Amino acid sequence: MRTKRSLVLGTIVLLLGGLFIANPIATTQAQEQNLLANPGFEQPYDGGVAGYWKSWAENNADLCAEKPDTWDFACTPNWGQEADYNGLGLTRGGASQHVGAQYTPWHAGVYQTVEVAPGTQVRFTAFGYSRASDEQPPEPSFGGDWVPRMQVGIDPEGRGQWHAGVIWSGENNACDGWQQLAVEATAGASGKVTVFVSSQFRRVQPLAHMDTWWEDASLISVQPAATPTSPPPPTSAVPPTPVHTPTPRPDGAVVHIVQSGDTLYGIALQYGVEVDELRRLNAGTLSANDMLSIGQEIVISGAPQAPTPVPTAPPATEEPAPELTAEPTAATGEGLASLCVSAYHDRNADMLPQLDSEELLPNAQLTLVGTNGPAGAYTTDGISEPYCFENLPLGNYVLRQTPPAGYQPTGPAEWGVMLSAGQVSSLQLGYRRDTAATGEGAATVVTEEPPAETTGEESGAKSSILNIIIRVSGIIALILVLLVAGLFIISRRRS
């Protein structure tokens, strides 16, 4: 009986030892799914930036010195480590990456480049927190127009430039609380991707405190790169529902269904409609500060009005100028997509076309490039736009532009677009007079270089070393357990 009990006890000890070994290995494997180095923005910090991350900023140097009262410019903010010693909720545990400035408009963030196999679909997420006020915390944010326009983005080619080829998430304008933002993209042929976090306070009177914090970033592989296989049999599966596609209603109105991260400003920019026009069309359904809820219907264009009697002597009217907001209706093959483009004179550089004062522009040279190479080219004529690149396979695209002579773009030099099956997307490209001729301040990029550069090989090497240490520790623990069990059995037999 003693021998049997000893064997049973020894078996239990061995099982416990196995659990001790398996648990850290399983935990380590789960942690390996995050491709980022220092995803929690922990120490060490260099120049105010967390290790393995780099800073970026838009900087309109001349306008920062002049400070025009439109406040439509961006200056370089400050980066720093946030430890939240006063317990204000500015971290989610450990440290967080702070970016902010006082009495200064700014547009900035941090980024990291990681090696990823070409064709891998990845998802980047990060938690953001913002605060805008003239009062010290814990007083709440002002709200209203003082919103951070927080975004996360992925450059599928890993170029490390915030203004070129980045696929951005929708804007998040929540203040005084942590919110998770997410975006997905497919890695390009370069074998690396760059992830960005971005915030911007501009076009409003600056406050004493305009700050954001970032925590708990994650870059995971959603779908590995495809391997060559025999073509699958035909299927009648319905393509996924396109994202950000206008939906017609029976009454003739066209609506946008609000999704996570949408803002009224972003919807206006996407469809080329003025924000005030959206407020008019959706009067009674919008809150005072234009906050939206997921699933809410936002009317983009109203229902057709009832016909009215024709006057006997109608007054003469001028022939209308070409409209900027013609709804793209490009026909695409099953499972394919379209991208419709136009160019306009963005006189006030707000990236929102104004039908009454901002005309279409000719001679803008546009080139669309996909992961498989060039997908089309077009030069605008200022009359027949929007022009649609049709029958595009789903995936990531970059729209490159050469402005008309004497103009410069008011937005990014390159636009990154991710197209889903059946989607019809649109881009309205704004241009203003060349600042070299007018003397206006041109936007420049400020990049601070922390010493460490993150690569997939370095991150993978660290994970492999950690795995070896854990496995060796587990083997040693198992040997000790066996020795203890053996000594216990021998002692029981002698007694």
Per-residue confidence (pLDDT) for residue 447, from 0 to 100: 47
Range with lowest mean pLDDT among 78-87, 107-116, 225-234, 439-448: 439-448
CATH number of the domain to which 385 belongs: 2.60.40.10
Q: What is the pLDDT of residues 313-345, one digit of tens each?
A: 444 444 454 445 444 555 456 668 888 899 999
CATH label of the domain that carries residue 260? 3.10.350.10
With a cut of 80, say whether residue 207 has pLDDT above it: yes
The residue that leads in pLDDT, 294 or 447, is: 294
pLDDT at 69 over 90: no
Does residue 345 form part of some domain?
yes
pLDDT of residue 456: 46
| Cβ(112)–Cβ(52) below 8 Å | yes
Asked if residue 53 is part of any domain, the answer here is yes
240 part of a folded domain: no
Residue 377 lies in a domain: yes
Same domain? For 93 and 211 the reply is: yes
Arithmetic mean of pLDDT, 220-235: 65
Residues 6+ apart with CB under 8 A from 344: 324, 353, 358, 359, 360, 361, 428, 429, 430, 431
Residue type present at position 204: V
Residues listed for the chain: 495
- In this predicted structure, the answer to whether residue 111 has a pLDDT above a threshold of 90 is yes
In a domain, 318, yes or no: no
Same domain, 134 and 89: yes
Q: 51 and 196, same structural domain?
A: yes
Domain presence at residue 213: yes
- Same structural domain, 365 and 429: yes
> Within a domain: residue 310?
no
- The verdict on 111 and 144 lying in the same domain is yes
Q: How many structural domains are present in the chain?
A: 4
Question: Are 60 and 124 part of one and the same domain?
Answer: yes
pLDDT digits (tens, 9 = 90+) for 397-432: 888 899 999 999 887 778 877 777 777 777 888 899
Q: What is the pLDDT of residue 331?
A: 46
Q: pLDDT digit string (tens) for 373-390? A: 788 999 999 998 999 999
The reply to whether 344 falls in a domain is: yes
436, 469: one domain: no
State how far the alpha carbon of 336 is from the alpha carbons of 298, 310, 371, 427, in Å: 26, 44, 15, 18
Query: Same domain for 61 and 185?
Result: yes
Measured CA to CA, the distance from residue 154 to residue 166 in angstroms comes to 5
Looking at the structure, do residues 118 and 75 belong to the same domain, yes or no? yes
pTM of the model: 0.50
Tell me, yes or no, whether 159 and 75 share the same domain.
yes
336 and 436 co-located in one domain: yes
Domain with 375 in it = 327-443
Mean pLDDT of 2-15: 54
Q: Is 358 helix (H, G, I), strand (E, B) or coil?
A: coil
191 with 68, same domain: the answer is yes
Report the mean per-residue pLDDT for the chain: 77
CATH code of the domain covering residue 141 = 2.60.120.260
Q: Which two tokens stand for residue 246?
A: 């206008």
